[in-house]
Amino acid sequence: MSEDKEHSFEVAKKWHPEERKVECEWVMKHAPKLIGALEECIANADKNGADEQTVESWNQNLAKVQEIYENAVEMLEDLGGRTRERTHKVLNNYEPEVDSRWFVDGFDNFERKLFTSLMFGDPDRPKLIPLVKRFKEQGAPLNPGKLVVDDRGMGSGRTLRMLMDVVRAQSFMKIARKFAKNLHGIDIMPKNLQDAIKLFREGKYGFLTRNISVGDYLDGKKHRKDTFRHKRAHLITLMMHTLFYNTTMDEWIKTFTNIKADLLPKGLCVFDTVAMRHNTPEDLKKGEAFLDDLKDIYTRFWIQYCENNQRFMPEGIRLNEMERRHIDDNTTGKGFQVREVPDKKFIEYIIKRIGGGLRIVDERMRTPEINDQDAIVIGRKWIFENNFEEKYKNTIKERIEKRIVNPSQLLGRDVDLEKEPVENVIEELMDYVARYMVQQYQNHYFIIERI
């Protein structure tokens, strides 16, 4: 859908629930100051010699501002509260080594190969010039020990440690130790900083702890001054869905503006997102016989978010047709958090909004390396923690009764519903959905170049 159509990015900027929250928060921040000023004027009216007409005007304005403020408070509550506050509460209980273990195990090998290819080259992708060849030193490829890296949303330091190991595997310990001193990172959660320091010390690379800090990477000026110390990077990373925590257009623009400002020309930025299928509920009917519409958990999150928030849309604006896709996600089991899943079209739009200077030069899809039983456990957790258990079971039961679903075909065995309890068959099919939900999950990696 083109940008000048009904559900363009501009329409989303105006009407999307997350953007409406921004308006509410602005009112809640500034209205109390105006209310206080008006109340002070009214209280001191006699002292200042204000006439009755002026005082009446002040009272009318005070009532209007109070009403606007109260409406903003009520709307923000209806919209689910402050997104950043909710996110911080979830992240405060989040344990990366536990809650993201499946992700680390499932994608670790691929990401090591990805960073190796970006830094040193990949014969299967000869068009993508590696970092050591993008930057020359007296006509020769740059010594990898001189590469400067910034990891935004570094979590417990997994990506930075991986990069140190990659350089060590491709060169010598001396070079890896030199490289480690050029690594920088920032994370919004204080406890992650301590976990990262512990992880780095285990590697014995001599990483400089002063190069990492607690803070918000959206605050580009502060990050450059306190952590990055006005350097520019050869590589910027935002891994493990760090970008998902941007939910407003302003946050997306700040993120990519900072990337553009902090990357050296020809430098690269790497981030990952989810390759969710952007289907409408009508499109998903095509996969009902194979329960395909239940397997893509992120599409389910998006559909559920749209159903919950359509009431905030004006007549004629359909949230599920907008080109921005927000989700309410509790896959960790630590609490629901609003996030936005960007696709290629949205990323290109943001780059255009910041005046270019960046371009997508490569993208890669990957499913996790995970066995059947672990996939079932993880998928069932996702279903349960997001309150889909009853809905999924009822949907499967209804489709069996209507003969839309053939249990024997899906389970690969003869299923006799006259002899087997239907509840047992439904449980097996829930496991079937959960397994494919995880094993067919696709992580989408983008590589962006500073031009």
Domains of the chain: which residue ranges? 9-81, 97-275+341-368+443-450, 281-295+305-335+371-439
Please report where in the chains the tokens 């996030």 appear, as a residue: 339
Per-residue pLDDT tens, the chain, 451 aa: give them: 444 455 789 999 999 999 999 999 999 999 999 999 999 999 998 888 889 999 999 999 999 999 999 999 999 999 999 999 999 999 999 888 788 899 999 999 999 999 999 999 998 888 899 999 999 888 888 999 999 999 999 999 999 999 999 999 999 999 999 999 999 999 999 989 989 998 888 878 988 888 999 999 999 888 888 777 767 999 999 999 999 999 999 999 999 999 999 999 999 999 999 988 766 666 767 789 999 999 999 999 999 999 999 999 999 899 988 889 999 999 999 999 999 999 999 999 999 999 999 999 999 999 999 999 999 999 999 999 999 999 999 999 999 999 999 999 999 999 999 999 999 999 999 999 999 999 999 999 999 999 9
Dist. CA 148–CA 159, nearest whole Å: 14
Q: Looking at domain 97-275+341-368+443-450, what is its CATH homologous superfamily? A: Vaccinia Virus protein VP39 (3.40.50.150)
CB atoms closer than 10 angstroms to residue 266: 14
- CA 48/CA 55 separation, integer angstroms: 11
Residues in Cβ contact with 29 at an 8 Å cutoff, skipping those fewer than 6 apart: none
Entry pTM: 0.92
In angstroms, the CA 415 to CA 417 distance is 6
Is-contact 19 324, C-beta < 8 A? no
Is the separation of the CB atoms in 19 and 12 below 8 Å? yes
| Spatial contact of 347 and 446, defined as CB atoms under 8 Å apart | yes
Residues facing residue 137 across a β-bridge:
140
Report the C-alpha gap between 189 and 154 in whole angstroms. Answer: 10
